Amino acid sequence: MEILGLLDTLESIVLDSTKVPFTKKVLVSEEEVLKLIDKIRNVVQGGSHFAQEALGRHKAPAAARGEESAVEAAEAERRPQAETKAVEVLEQSYQMAKEIREGADKYADEVLANLEATSTRILRTVKAGRDRLAKTTPVGSESK
């Protein structure tokens, strides 16, 4: 079934994505995942339409029409389940994307905080060095 192939593709995108260090998060291409979600939606929505068209084109004898109505009834029964499952998959995808964004933001904040702390230490060291030089060297005297 095509939907399983699309779900395998989604899984491979997640597994092959760049991992966020020190977390169980990955960075995925939002555009790539959203395109895949649209394809999954189309398959889920279009799958039942395709089956109806196939049944409509194939005019069966009266004995087979009972089978057609049974197939249509079974399809109508499965459609809400498939739609529910599709909604679950989409919600999980959106939740996963949200968690990934939050993890990336947290990681970026940690990196920037570390950079800020390091820069502050460097600036303190530079200022202390300049202060020490100012104390040992008279301001007005310059070497000629």
103 in Cβ contact with 19 (< 8 Å): no
Could you read off the pLDDT tens digit of each residue along the chain, which spans 144 residues? 577 888 888 888 888 888 888 888 888 888 888 888 888 888 887 755 554 555 455 444 544 555 667 777 777 777 777 788 888 888 899 899 999 999 999 999 999 999 999 999 999 999 999 999 999 887 655 554
Structure-token match 């968690």, residue found = 99
Dist CA 136 CA 123 (whole Å): 20
